[in-house]
Amino acid sequence: MTTTLCAPDAAPAGRGPARRGLAALAGLLAAAVALGVGELVAGFVRPASSPVVAVGDAVIALVPQPVTALAIRIFGEADKVALIAGTLVVVALYALLVGVLGLRDRRLAVLGIVLFGTVGALAALTRPAGQSADVLPSLAGTAAGVLALLALLAPLATAAPAGAPDRPGGQLDRRRFVLTGAAAVGVAAVSGGAGRLLQRSTEVTSLRAGVTLPTPSSPARALPPGADLAGDVKGLTPLVTRNGEFYRIDTALIAPRIRPADYRLQLTGMFDSPRTYTLDDLLARADVIERDITLTCVSNEVGGALVGSARWLGVPLAALLRENGIRPGSDQLLCRSADGMTIGAPTRSALEVEDAMLAFGMNGEPLPVVHGFPVRMIIPGLYGYVSACKWLTRIEATTFDAVDAYWIQRDWAADGPIRIASRIDTPGAGRAIPAGRRAIAGVAWAQTRGIATVEVRVDDGDWQQARLSPAVDADLWRQWVLPHDFAPGRHVLTVRATGADGEVQTDARADPFPAGATGWHSVEVLVS
Ligand SMILES: Nc1nc2c(c(=O)[nH]1)N[C@H]1C(S)=C(S)[C@@H](COP(=O)(O)O)O[C@H]1N2
Ligand SMILES: [Mo]
């Protein structure tokens, strides 16, 4: 039985042509592994160190001008693609040859691959902005290519007599060749794919750094001196959240990487004259505004951390919608992100909430990639899931009847006004603190209306009014501080806010689902 099954695989050496064909294929697969691993390592070094890109660049630099001009005439804007394709064809032909040579003499094949790697390394090193680390992708690719080629050539002559492993005429182990070949294809595809993804992320990161933000025609109000109470109160949240510390909520496993030059914002649906905008169109507008706005997630629990404040820079949303002739029948703006996410914002809020914007700047920088680079929506007073679409690529003016956005399909409320809220930052819940005087402090927010007062209660005592940070913008949270003499024992601290519209924060507890949490934040501390 076994013999019969094995027979086709371990057949005596095939005729020369069959074996040579497989050897050529081995060369091709080894080259694919080398290129894939090279791309992967380039993903960690930098995109320009990719051997294929480096060789392509070197060719551009070496080829005489008339040839370049001809290539551009023939291929037009696809000239770069044509160049890379051409490079790959040359590599493939070379690899086929190396594979066949390897059948006769493995050392020759190894030399062939090393030569191939040397060309890649030299090309990378001699680029005008070349760095020594740029040789790493070629080195790693060469090593991987050599291993792959030896592994693939082995099954082509398994039973070769000892001492003469390179001599043709051994057994041809087809099964092993197929398995090794499949593994090589897998390694090449996975490493190459992962490498390209990594390179794209570093590429977009550097392109992002190259975006120049405009000066707003309407800047944010200057913060009065001493506006940020966090300087004096340890444990209090800063007035403005640093970008790196801003909470992040989205469904994207890998944040979309949009090249600034590729960015388009498309308006569709119920507009009289919908346009498509480039990033430069938006950056160049004369009506750029800058505002301090607190953003919150509907999933934030009472006392939770899914809230942050930033100085946003962008284009007023109402102006942009109006100049495209938004029709009165639209009550929903279906915002679509580059990753396919849909967020449905009320058209009315977009038109009427002052300072609603398409933001491209956050705290003086282009939007960070994870916060929606290059453009997102911000509508003060609405939870992020119904307003703050990141990586925004399309706004479709439509109606709530016509289409349910992502979170609405999952039964969250279609309407998402931010509830008035307050949080105790310090002392921290469950903390043991020494008796004596120290500050109770935190933040409170009621976007679009503003905070009027914050009160704190210790145990069952009276509500005491806390000192507030200066009112800067109704959309920006306010810090609050209340110094207190702590007596030994267990104490429960509770906070509540009142909005400038008179609304007193309710103590009725509600879960975040489906329309945002309510209830007072309390912390228990142990004083000794
Ligand atoms: N494309 C996209 N945009 C999105 C989301 C998302 O999942 N995908 N989540 C929204 C939610 S629920 C919130 S609270 C805010 C959070 O923005 P941030 O991550 O910048 O804090 O983004 C909103 N925009
Ligand atoms: Mo959210």
Question: In whole angstroms, what is the distance from residue 266 CA to residue 393 CA?
Answer: 6
Question: In whole angstroms, what is the distance from residue 213 CA to residue 234 CA?
Answer: 33
Å from CA of 293 to ligand 2 middle:
15
Residue type, 70: L
Kindly report, residue by residue over 332-375, the tens digit of the pLDDT.
Answer: 999 999 989 999 999 999 999 999 999 999 999 999 999 999 99
| Alpha carbon nearest to ligand 1 atom 13, residue | 384
Long-range CB contact pairs, 128-134, < 8 A, 24+: 129/48, 131/46, 131/49, 133/45, 133/46, 133/49, 134/45, 134/46, 134/48, 134/49, 134/54
Full DSSP string of 447-498: TTT-EEEEEEEETTS--EEPEE-----TTS-EEEEEEEEEPSEEEEEEEEEE
Å from CA of 476 to ligand 2 middle:
18
pLDDT in single tens digits along all 528 residues of the chain: 333 333 343 444 445 778 899 999 999 999 999 999 999 999 999 888 888 888 888 887 787 778 777 777 777 767 777 888 888 898 999 999 999 999 889 999 999 999 989 999 999 888 877 788 999 999 999 999 999 999 999 998 754 444 444 445 567 888 999 999 999 999 999 999 999 888 888 889 989 999 999 999 999 999 998 899 999 999 999 999 999 999 999 988 778 889 999 999 999 999 999 999 999 999 999 999 999 999 999 999 999 999 999 999 999 999 999 999 999 999 999 999 998 999 999 999 999 999 999 999 999 999 999 999 999 999 999 999 999 999 999 999 999 999 999 999 999 999 999 999 999 999 999 889 999 999 999 999 999 999 999 999 999 999 999 999 999 999 999 999 999 999 999 999 999 999 999 999 999 999 999 999 999 999 999 999
Ligand 1 site, residue 467, Cβ cutoff 6 A: no
Å from CA of 497 to ligand 2 middle:
22
Query: For tokens 């979309």, what's the residue?
Result: 256
For the structural domain made of 421-527, what CATH number should be given? 2.60.40.650
Residue 186 CA, distance from chain mean position = 26
Ligand 1 site, residue 337, Cβ cutoff 6 A: yes
Ligand 1 site, residue 246, Cβ cutoff 6 A: yes
Q: Which pTM value belongs to this model?
A: 0.78
| Alpha carbon nearest to ligand 1 atom 9, residue | 250
Ligand 1 site, residue 297, Cβ cutoff 6 A: yes
User: For 401, which DSSP code?
Assistant: T
Beta strands in 138-288 (DSSP E): 264-269, 276-278
Where do you find CATH 2.60.40.650 in the chain?
Answer: 421-527
226 — alpha (psi -120 to 50), left (phi > 0) or beta?
Answer: left
Q: Which one of 3.30.499.10, 3.30.70.600, 2.60.20.30, 3.90.420.10 gives the CATH number of domain 239-409?
A: 3.90.420.10
Question: In whole angstroms, what is the distance from residue 312 CA to residue 291 CA?
Answer: 5
Long-range CB contact pairs, 62-68, < 8 A, 24+: none
| Alpha carbon nearest to ligand 1 atom 7, residue | 250
| Alpha carbon nearest to ligand 1 atom 15, residue | 384
Ligand 1 site, residue 410, Cβ cutoff 6 A: no
| Alpha carbon nearest to ligand 1 atom 4, residue | 389
Tokens of 190: 């996975």
Q: Which of 343, 363, 387, when mutated, tests ligand 1's pocket best, judged by the most ligand atoms within 8 Å of its CB?
A: 343
Where do you find CATH 3.90.420.10 in the chain?
Answer: 239-409
